Amino acid sequence: MRLIAAFLKLVRLPNLFFIALTQFLFQSCIYYPLYKGSIPPNDSLHFIFLLLASLLIAAAGYIINDYFDINIDEVNKPDKMVVDKVIHRRWAIAWHFMLSTTGLLFTILALPFFQKWYLVLANIICVALLWFYSTNFKKSLIVGNVVISFLTAWTILIIFFSKVNLSDAIGAGAVDHHKFFRLAILYAGFAFII
């Protein structure tokens, strides 16, 4: 039981809850009302896969962040440490790779790969950004904050881009596409600023 509690603390369960809530509300309160009557049959299943992908990639990011913060945490918060106190370092790095890989597999399952390959690539870049944030970027105030802000905004944008091609949103697409694009940019921008 202690191991499960430590793992949930390591992956920041409350933060994962808010990522899931944000994506669920965007799907159900923005996408569904705009496109009711023209929603593809497998949309809910694809959304669940994409939500799971986001949660797994974020959880892996939290794990790798704690993995590289061991020396700092030993000084600043030794009583709150999970990696090396409850979960061994090797297991932490293994969990990071397993969760990242599974998140990328869920991304592939959620999207028509040959049409939306760039979203799979974007999630691969997110995994890499989380790694480099933990090793380098967080030491730089501006770069670190911009990377995390971008990744926060991406949780909204990935849902948008999974539904609509960018060319349809800003080009000659339907009126609903333009409105959906504006709302996605509005909410993603808000997430970025916060």
pLDDT for residue 166? 72
pLDDT for residue 167? 73
Q: What angle do CA 20, 21, 25 make, to 5 degrees?
A: 120
| Inter-residue long-range contacts of 159-165, CB under 8 Å, 24+ positions, other chains counted | 159/23, 159/26, 159/27, 159/31, 159/47, 159/50, 159/184, 160/26, 160/184, 160/188, 161/116, 161/119, 161/122, 162/46, 162/47, 162/50, 162/110, 162/111, 162/116, 162/119, 163/31, 163/35, 163/43
Residue 129 in this model has a pLDDT that exceeds 80? yes
In the predicted model, what is the mean pLDDT of residues 33-50?
93
Distance CA 172, CA 149 (A): 30
3-state secondary structure of 93: helix
Write the pLDDT tens digit of every residue in 5-15. 888 999 999 99
Write the pLDDT tens digit of every residue in 68-119. 888 777 667 767 778 878 888 999 999 999 999 999 999 999 998 888 999 9
In the predicted model, what is the mean pLDDT of residues 52-81?
86
Instruction: Give the percent of the chain with pLDDT over 90.
Output: 64
With bands split at pLDDT 50, 70 and 90, how would you rate the model's confidence at 168?
confident
Cβ(97)–Cβ(48) below 8 Å: no
Beta bridge partners of 145: none
pLDDT for residue 160? 95
Write the pLDDT tens digit of every residue in 133-149. 999 988 888 999 999 99
Look at the block and give the residue holding tokens 């509690």. Answer: 5
With bands split at pLDDT 50, 70 and 90, how would you rate the model's confidence at 173?
low
Instruction: Provide the mean pLDDT of the chain.
Output: 90
With bands split at pLDDT 50, 70 and 90, how would you rate the model's confidence at 155?
very high
What pTM, to 2 d.p., does this model score?
0.92
Task: Determine the distance from the C-alpha atom of residue 113 to the mean position of all C-alpha atoms in its chain, rounded to a whole number.
Answer: 18
Residue of higher predicted confidence among 66 and 23? 23
pLDDT for residue 85? 82
Would you kindly state where each structural domain of the chain is located, as residue ranges?
Answer: 2-137
**Amino acid present at 52:** L
In the predicted model, what is the mean pLDDT of residues 118-139?
94
